[in-house]
Amino acid sequence: MEKRLNGQKALVTGANSGIGAAIAQRLAAEGAEVVINFLFNDSATDELVKKIEAGGGKAMGIKADVSNEEQVDAMFKQMFKAYGTIDILVNNAGIEIHNLLENMTKAEWDKVIAVNLTGNFLCSRSAIRQFLQNENRPSKARGKIVNISSVHQVIMWAGFSSYCATKAGINLFAQSVAQEYAEKKIRINSVAPGAIKTPINQNVWSDPKGMADLMTKMPYGRMGEVEDVAAAVAFLSSDEADYITGTTLYVDGGMCLYPEFRFGG
């Protein structure tokens, strides 16, 4: 594999599972040294570190709740002690809690906002502060952030209004910050996956009826694989995307193409 990220230091949040794990492996395969952030599952993190090292890469796990300011500060401190700096931040950690608005508790709302949106703010702020110190890094940009958003930054989703609020929020937050720091040669973009096969949506892909329904929304005729998302993140993190900032790359098999209209308007 081409080593577009040789010598760069990356942090991927929520990276011991699903999309984050694939991103960590891809960035390492392209030459980056990678921090795998996670919250609960130590053994999955250890296994992933071993897998990356067995493939000749370099990785370390750091446990931290991205919604907790002290833990995020401590995580970045630990990373800088080990790796010296950061070149690439991937804000991937995210959760969803199903509930109709009439039944939604404030605790449920707060939890989704805290992890998905406040977590993005806290990690982006720490990364930006360090990017501004970066000089002579092995990349044209001084630093790059890639957010894992969702098609639900633009497609409404009944029962998941809190999740949609965070993903739509990430979009304009990221674009505003991209505007703030473009002249400092810092790039901020998002990848918006459609339906990607991971533990977060196991209830859908493990049920034939759920899968059949999903396929009616999927012009490309298959669920996405985690590697589809990881490839987009690697591209946006690399110098091949050096003139790209403040945008969203949809990786969704056409889910945003109003699939119902395939059979007449």
Contact 221, 250 (CB under 8 A): no
33, 150, 253 from 249: Cα distances, Å: 24, 10, 12
Which of 5, 11, 18, 87 contacts ligand NAP by CB under 6 A?
Answer: 18
Per CB under 6 A, does 41 bind ligand NAP?
yes
Pick between residue 124 and residue 134 the one whose CB is nearest to ligand NAP. Answer: 124
128 versus 164: smaller Cβ distance to ligand NAP:
164
Contact 2, 27 (CB under 8 A): no
DSSP codes joined into one string, 223-247: PBPHHHHHHHHHHHHSGGGTT--S-
- Among residues 163, 181, 220, 258, which one is catalytic? 163
115 forms part of the interface with ligand NAP (CB under 6 A): yes
**Could you say which of 52, 117, 178, 195 contacts ligand NAP (CB under 6 A)?**
195
Minimum CB separation of residue 74 from ligand NAP in Å reads 13
Paired residues of 146 in beta bridges: 90, 189
Q: Is 208 left (phi over 0), alpha (psi -120 to 50) or beta?
A: alpha
Phi-psi label, residue 56: left if phi above 0, alpha if psi -120 to 50, beta otherwise: left
Give yes or no: 163 in active site. yes
195 or 236: CB nearest ligand NAP: 195
Show the site string, 137-176: x = touches ligand NAP by CB under 6 A, - = not. Answer: -----------x-x--------------------------
List, in sequence order, the alpha helices (H) in 64-118: 69-83, 106-112
Q: Which residues are catalytic?
A: 163
Binding site for ligand NAP (CB under 6 A): 13-20, 37-41, 65-67, 92-95, 115, 148, 150, 193, 195-196, 198-201
